[in-house]
Structure 1
Amino acid sequence: MQPAPSLPLVKDLVLIGGGHAHALVLRMWGMRPLAGVRLTVINPGPAAPYTGMLPGLIAGHYRREDIFIDLVRLARFAGARVILDRAEGIDRDSRHVLLSSGRRVAYDVASIDIGIASGLPGTPGFSDHAVAAKPLGHYADRWRDFVATCGAEPLITVIGGGVGGVELALASAHRLTSEGHRPRVTLLEQAPAVLRDMGEGTRRRLLARARDYGIEILTNTTAARIAADAVHLADGRVLPSDFTLSVAGGQPQAWLATTGLDLTDGFLTVGPTLQTSDPAILAAGDTAHLSHAPRPKAGVYAVREAPILFENLRALLAGKSTLRSYQPQKDYLKLISTGDRRAVADKFGLRAGGGWLWQWKDRIDRKFMAKFADYPAMPAFPLPAERAEGVVEALGPKPLCGGCGAKVGAADLSAALAHLPAPRHGDVISGPGDDAAILTRPDGGFEVMTTDHLRAFWDDPGLFARLTAIHALGDIWAMGARPHGALVQVTLPRLAARQQVETLREVMEALSATLAEAGADILGGHSSIGAELSVGLTLTGRAGHIVTKGGARPGDALILTKPIGTGTVLAAEMARALLPGQILGEQVAACLAVMDRPQHRAAAILAPVAHAMTDVTGFGLAGHLLEILEASNAGGRLALPSVPMLPGAVALARLGHASSLAPANRAAFAPRMAFTDGAEAALLFDPQTCGGLLAAVPEDRADETLARLADEDHPATRIGTITEGPPQLWVDDAG
């Protein structure tokens, strides 16, 4: 029986924003995907906050990780690609989403759920000295930092006297009071009264709690200017303020006005099917205005729109003409926290209050967030009942990693290449064995040549292509050379014609920009169709002076320009790992940001002084350092506490996460090392993609070199020393 063919991707669904409705759509898609659709989610950050728990976070009842949906883990479950960027427009003629980075992402059907903003962009000083409650991720971080550093009598100003403003003023007062501060909180409202949309009984209860906390309420006033330490009011008064927050209503994101879509007060006008005036673009949550049933901005509507949005997106992509309609309820239960673990309720004029209501609200909120804490296990591809002996062992215990984690192990590679003949041409100084082959040039300089080819480890083709280029360029930089020319090899998965063109465009635009930044030109290449996306580069470089792996001398300082741990973090992302106390998606984003840092300026500083240099890639820090030691016939001593490691990498290693290549690295290199095993030591065998440069620098030049690297925004670390031989590595736990 032939294996089932992988179906080509023929339609692009793009979710713009990571709001509540889109988060639920992603979860539903993971359990019921539509074959042939490539799903993409575009969001500026790797995690999306749940607004219902924000007051509890500000009050100190929740941890930060309790209220954020990890979009990276969610997208992995949904089989979606994540693009960490901000949408700034839509070209509806060509059907592209325009991103702040300048990239364009194609769509056949798109949905928008980007929330609202609560800032005061027209108020002088706001962007420099105040913070908006929405988008709330930035607010949560600013508040955390303020609480950690504020004085004994902090001054808080909250602009906006609606439910959100009062709730956050109460939460702020409770948090600071419970931690021993004596806060003074002031609430500003431009109308004659606060809480105008609340029932009178609910309003009285909330105002009573505000009096209990000593919150001063100023009405009929607005902020005219905001300074670092004060809010200047329109009536001339100056209100001292250490932390200024705006909760002054919700404004739509400005770029929506450039789309040509029908708007109502700046929000996207949608009908019962959640379609905008362009039937191929839908919208939900606070971004949308329900023309058939206008409602206030509230998360409950986004949550209840999600199933309708999910079904209608699937129907449009499948070419169906019948869509479902969304009819919102007329009112909803409002549970408003009062700072402490109490709440008041308001619906249809009914009012209640007390601790039991907060517990009820807490259960509702935690039940919602539990949907994103873990995901149903999807059925694995079954192995044939009849199979050759050894199939299970060859598959291994985990999926094959991408990037440099997919390399052939060091021992197997050495065995396979052992009988290759030596180079026969006189202009070849060295072939296999260093980061790049070295050839002499007629002008007396040197030409270096290398090649690299990576399986996709990240589903954003543009970012993956850029990182592949940075990774491949590492071999050129490690030789002290300047990149010159590149040949490109791209394998695309099976795609429809438009998807094929768009994916190749994204890949080639990213490669071209990255190589141009490094000073290299694309000279040609080859493309093919295969099982998965992969990108390869063959590169040349030029130099007047070459730095090899050999040449390190006893006493040299070992300098590393990037933290290690990419293999472990990316393997954990593939496994949708839970990272207690942290948000895995944020650690993945931090990992990608480090990988996205080219090394040309660092190489220009290191090459003139280094006795030996290499880049840390698939064989891990231990393997590549041992290559230097062997080529230099020297020993090495590594200070493990000094080795920089990516955020979350040690915790993930402690939980048992590792790249599929890590066991082969350990088997190949551990026999030549002396170390105490543990999570930190395990990361020495972690394969790196886009890893840093590792250089042996004269001791008397080390401090100067580190200072120059820091000045060039390339923070580097001294991690050890070259010693007298033999070529073995001692790892010190105490630094």
Structure 2
Amino acid sequence: MVRAALSGYDRAMIALPPLTRDLVLIGGGHSHALVLRRWAMDPLPGARLTLIDPGPVTAYSGMLPGYVAGHYAARDLQIDLVRLARRAGARLVIGRAEGIDKGARQVRVAGRAPIGFDVASLDIGVTSAMPELPGFAEHAVPVKPLGAFATRWEAFRRAPGPVAVIGGGVAGVELAMAMAHGLGRRAEVTVIEHGRALAGTSGRARTLLLARLQALGVTLIEGAEVAKVEAEALVLADGRRLPAALTVGAAGARAQGWLSETGLETKGGFLSVGETLQTSDPAIFAAGDCAEMLHAPRPKAGVFAVRQAPVLARNLRAALTGGRMRRYSPQRDYLKLISLGEKAAAAEKAGLALASHWLWRWKDRIDRRFMDKLSDLPPMPAPKPPRESAAGADPSAEPMCGGCGAKVGRGALKAALSGLTGAQRDDLEVLPGDDAALLRMGGARQVLSTDHLRAVTDDWSLMTRIACLHALGDVWAMGAQPQAALLTVILPRQSAELQQRAMAEIGAAAEAELTAAGAALIGGHSSMGSELTLGFSVTGLLERDPVTLGGARPGDALILTKPLGSGTILAAEMRGAAQGPDVAACWQAMLQPQGAASSILGPDARAMTDVTGFGLAGHLAAICEASGCGAAIDLGAVPMMQGAEALAAAGVKSTLWQDNRDGAGPVFGAAGQRGALLFDPQTAGGLLAAVPQEAAEELMTRLRAAGYPAARIGTVEALPGIRVA
């Protein structure tokens, strides 16, 4: 029997199990964070894991009072969902879930196409908002969700005023003590409770906490109803008016309103779950504070969310594989550790209570141990090196970056293109050095370009938008208006149903982005491969002569419309070394379309390009070469993305960086981390334009008014080469 030899590509494709099931985690609460960690240690082949959360980080509730009191920095209590998702091999969708269609098996997320699932789980926490209280939505902040409150507190404590806390339960009192300590008596703190404060605690614990409130100078008002919230005051039902520069809602936990519209059984607005943490729909689970355990009702406390995680992880896996479910049986009572403002804590259990500084140290160790589980993640296993390799091969080389970090270097590309003969038709003009061609049809002039990207994120909608704007950059750089586009998609190997879900998200995102740019999506092509790759072939219409690379003159000002750093940040994210907020800010920067910038710069620009794979230095070198000139860059004026300089200083570079450094030609003075970022490959980068000096100031004003973080970064010079100072 003769067997056909398999190519390396064929073997790789066979080794990849096709994706067949979608598991979607809605919310980055404590239970789901721990599920992600477990998944990272033992992923399920064939299952695609998605996490949906409004932000790149989520706050750990146990450390919030310590943060408010000033014992922790904001970063200390942040669970980095970007890093956690990367380590778990999950796609992170930053967006707010707004509903579930359990019949269609879809999650509705604000501003994007629905996300399909086979199995879903909710851990979205609760809210302490009071929508029924007049003025609360406009002038107050609920303590839950924690992220929004932490952001508000960070700004408030720089210029504090009187604080009013609505709610005299343990949560409200603990928060008030933390505020009083953190503000250091710079502002008065008042707690308002409609009934008896700390009614849910034992007599000894209540006495202890009330004494601590008094020692910190916190005013407690019991038996008082709040009538309304004003911008600088709180009005009580009896007419009293309490000054309040900050009003905080901490009066109990309320369910997120949309849960009652899912068609799932609820109790008090919370999702009803049984012993296996399944809701009334067996394919949908719930954990944490958003769930109500019918078999064992318990108060809303983080300890239950943490202890539900192992059972939830096992049962989600069972739901995906047809395995056996496990029961969750919560403890009847639990130890309550309550921060007392300073580095001291009170402990209560079974009616007993005591307070001391060593209890704070114990609580601090517990909290830090929990955070260490979710931040000090085990390294990703490195592929086993080959026994031998060809001369020049480096088995220890970093994995290839995504986006423009996966492009061919400028030097290799120039060498390959130098042998092409160029256009052979009268109706076609290939512009030297430009990434687009100019077509003439009758009296119309049309720009044609194409580009594709290896994925930098597994969020298909986000990646589609980035790839679309990246491809449109060549059209905008020539001063053209986008007209039409064809989409090219390579999907990872997966079942027909999952293909349909992915293509629905990709198609919706592509159409929305192109429509906003004034273009039409007219079709495309797809195939399956080892990883997600997205590309667009685009056309644009010109109403005036194209803006090309040639045409810059000595004395022209150089304007850049976007900051640098995406290649470095994305390389760090791929290695699990970037901070979630920096990655999210990078994604948002890439999503800023350059159409309006093109309209502003185009009429005056003598030369223009989009800054992408070759980095700022490489694309500026292309302008200089085509225009027969050089340039001077003011390194201090070049805008950088949040977190990019710190990563560059730590030695993080894209895999294309060295090719960009070698291919940029003579660049003098590019030192330090800022100098290194001049060669950083950008994905969906900004426009770089050479404009007359006399027009530069007005153009900068218009760009900034249009929302662009534009900067004047240098000057075109007569002498060849690029000088950096």
Normalising by structure 2, we get a TM-score of 0.97
Which of 625, 628, 633 lines up with 2:623 in the alignment? 628
Q: Which amino acid is 2:541 matched to?
A: R
Which of 606, 612, 615 lines up with 2:610 in the alignment? 615
Q: Describe the SS at the equivalent of 1:540.
A: strand
Answer whether contact 1:435 1:614 (CA < 8 A) is retained. Answer: no
Which of 117, 127, 130 lines up with 1:120 in the alignment? 130
Residue 569 in structure 1 maps to residue 569 in structure 2 = yes
Residue 646 in structure 1 maps to residue 641 in structure 2 = yes
Q: In the alignment, which residue of structure 2 is the partner of 1:376?
A: 378
Cα distance in 1, alignment partners of residues 342 and 472 from structure 2: 55
Cα distance in 1, alignment partners of residues 112 and 712 from structure 2: 37
Answer whether contact 2:431 2:548 (CA < 8 A) is retained. Answer: no
Q: In the alignment, which residue of structure 1 is the partner of 2:352?
A: 350
Q: Which amino acid is 1:577 matched to?
A: A
Q: Which amino acid is 1:536 matched to?
A: G
Between 616-625 and 137-146, the greater mean CA deviation after superposition: 137-146
Q: In the alignment, which residue of structure 2 is the partner of 1:721?
A: 715
Cα deviation digits, residues 470-490 of structure 1 (max 9, x gap): 000000000000011212211
Cα distance in 2, alignment partners of residues 377 and 217 from structure 1: 49
Cα deviation digits, residues 256-308 of structure 1 (max 9, x gap): 01101000000000000000000000000001000000000000000000000
Between 556-565 and 217-226, the greater mean CA deviation after superposition: 217-226
Q: In the alignment, which residue of structure 1 is the partner of 2:484?
A: 485
Between 522-531 and 464-473, the greater mean CA deviation after superposition: 522-531
Cα distance in 2, alignment partners of residues 625 and 386 from structure 1: 41
Q: In the alignment, which residue of structure 2 is the partner of 1:604?
A: 599
Cα distance in 1, alignment partners of residues 88 and 144 from structure 2: 27
Q: Which amino acid is 1:674 matched to?
A: F
Q: In the alignment, which residue of structure 1 is the partner of 2:190?
A: 186
Q: Describe the SS at the equivalent of 1:617.
A: coil
Cα deviation digits, residues 155-189 of structure 1 (max 9, x gap): 11111000010001000000111xxx432111000
Q: Which amino acid is 2:65 matched to?
A: P
Which of 578, 584, 587 lines up with 2:582 in the alignment? 587
1:234: Cα distance to partner? 1.4
Between the two proteins, what is the percent identity of the paired residues?
53
Q: Which amino acid is 2:36 matched to?
A: L
Answer whether contact 2:401 2:655 (CA < 8 A) is retained. Answer: yes
Residue 315 in structure 1 maps to residue 318 in structure 2 = yes
Answer whether contact 2:635 2:674 (CA < 8 A) is retained. Answer: yes
Q: In the alignment, which residue of structure 1 is the partner of 2:457?
A: 458
Query: 5+ residue gaps in structure 1?
Result: 579-583
Q: Which amino acid is 2:572 matched to?
A: A
Cα distance in 2, alignment partners of residues 74 and 63 from structure 1: 20
Answer whether contact 2:113 2:504 (CA < 8 A) is retained. Answer: no
Q: In the alignment, which residue of structure 1 is the partner of 2:424?
A: 424
Residue 221 in structure 1 maps to residue 231 in structure 2 = no
Answer whether contact 1:486 1:537 (CA < 8 A) is retained. Answer: yes
1:386: Cα distance to partner? 4.3
Q: In structure 2, do the counterparts of structure 1 residues 258 and 432 end up closer, same or farther at CA, with 3 Å as the change threshold?
A: farther
Residue 526 in structure 1 maps to residue 525 in structure 2 = yes
Q: What is the aligned residue count? A: 714
Cα distance in 1, alignment partners of residues 315 and 424 from structure 2: 65
Q: Which amino acid is 1:516 matched to?
A: T
1:502: Cα distance to partner? 0.8
Q: In the alignment, which residue of structure 2 is the partner of 1:438?
A: 438
Q: Describe the SS at the equivalent of 1:207.
A: helix
1:377: Cα distance to partner? 2.4
Q: In the alignment, which residue of structure 2 is the partner of 1:258?
A: 261
Residue 137 in structure 1 maps to residue 147 in structure 2 = yes
Q: Which amino acid is 1:346 matched to?
A: E
Q: In the alignment, which residue of structure 2 is the partner of 1:79?
A: 89
Cα distance in 1, alignment partners of residues 187 and 533 from structure 2: 57
Query: 5+ residue gaps in structure 2?
Result: 1-5
Cα distance in 1, alignment partners of residues 644 and 396 from structure 2: 22
Between 700-709 and 162-171, the greater mean CA deviation after superposition: 700-709
Q: In the alignment, which residue of structure 1 is the partner of 2:551?
A: 551
Cα deviation digits, residues 372-402 of structure 1 (max 9, x gap): 22211243222332443344x2x66211111
Answer whether contact 2:563 2:709 (CA < 8 A) is retained. Answer: no
Answer whether contact 1:696 1:722 (CA < 8 A) is retained. Answer: yes
Cα distance in 1, alignment partners of residues 542 and 333 from structure 2: 72
Answer whether contact 2:452 2:533 (CA < 8 A) is retained. Answer: yes
Q: In the alignment, which residue of structure 1 is the partner of 2:724?
A: 731
Q: In the alignment, which residue of structure 2 is the partner of 1:581?
A: none
Between 478-487 and 295-304, the greater mean CA deviation after superposition: 478-487
Residue 692 in structure 1 maps to residue 686 in structure 2 = yes
Cα distance in 2, alignment partners of residues 676 and 472 from structure 1: 29
Q: Describe the SS at the equivalent of 2:24.
A: strand
Answer whether contact 1:423 1:431 (CA < 8 A) is retained. Answer: no
| Aligned-CA RMSD value | 1.3
Cα distance in 1, alignment partners of residues 601 and 679 from structure 2: 24
Normalising by structure 1, we get a TM-score of 0.96
Answer whether contact 1:435 1:478 (CA < 8 A) is retained. Answer: no
1:729: Cα distance to partner? 0.8
Q: Which amino acid is 1:730 matched to?
A: R
Q: Which amino acid is 2:441 matched to?
A: R
Q: Describe the SS at the equivalent of 1:466.
A: helix
Q: In the alignment, which residue of structure 2 is the partner of 1:166?
A: 173
Residue 18 in structure 1 maps to residue 22 in structure 2 = no
Cα deviation digits, residues 416-458 of structure 1 (max 9, x gap): 2221112111122324521311123311x42111110111110
Answer whether contact 1:552 1:629 (CA < 8 A) is retained. Answer: yes
Q: In the alignment, which residue of structure 2 is the partner of 1:706?
A: 700
